[in-house]
């Protein structure tokens, strides 16, 4: 993906940050407790698997860090940003449940 397109897609997922030479995007979310964090991580895992874009997920007490990208491929792909948008939708749903 060209740098201009990457920058445009980043505007659509403002909670995400570019990392490692623009090969990954990362977001950290905080929850009320560890159980809520684990439930969210499981939902993210299921969505990623269904989309064919399994993310790296780290759960640390009440925080979940999600990293999307494939350090082997030349930079980010549209599918990576599609997953980030879907995860953002899950995050919104988390607070509406």
Q: Are 14 and 60 in contact (CB under 8 A)?
A: no
pLDDT band at 94 (very low <50, low <70, confident <90, very high): low
Q: What pTM was estimated for this model as a whole?
A: 0.89
Q: Print the domain residue range for 18.
A: 3-96
87: domain CATH number? 3.30.1360.20
In this prediction, residues 25-37 reach a mean pLDDT of 95
pLDDT number for residue 96: 41
Q: Which alpha helices (H) appear in the chain, and where do they start and end?
A: 3-12, 34-51, 78-96
| CA distances (Å), origin 81, targets 33, 49, 64, 96 | 27, 15, 18, 23
Flag whether pLDDT at 74 surpasses 70. Answer: no
What total of structural domains would you count in the chain? 1
Mean pLDDT lowest among 4-13, 15-24, 26-35, 40-49: 15-24
């Amino acid at each position: 993906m060209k740098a201009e397109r990457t920058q445009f897609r980043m505007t659509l997922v403002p909670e995400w940050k570019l990392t490692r030479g623009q090969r990954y995007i990362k977001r950290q979310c905080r929850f009320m407790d560890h159980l809520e964090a684990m439930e969210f991580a499981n939902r993210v895992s299921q969505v990623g698997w269904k989309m064919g874009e399994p993310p790296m997920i780290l759960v640390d007490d009440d925080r979940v860090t999600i990293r999307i990208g494939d350090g082997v491929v030349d930079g980010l792909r549209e599918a990576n940003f599609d997953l980030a948008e879907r995860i953002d939708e899950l995050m919104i749903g988390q607070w509406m449940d």
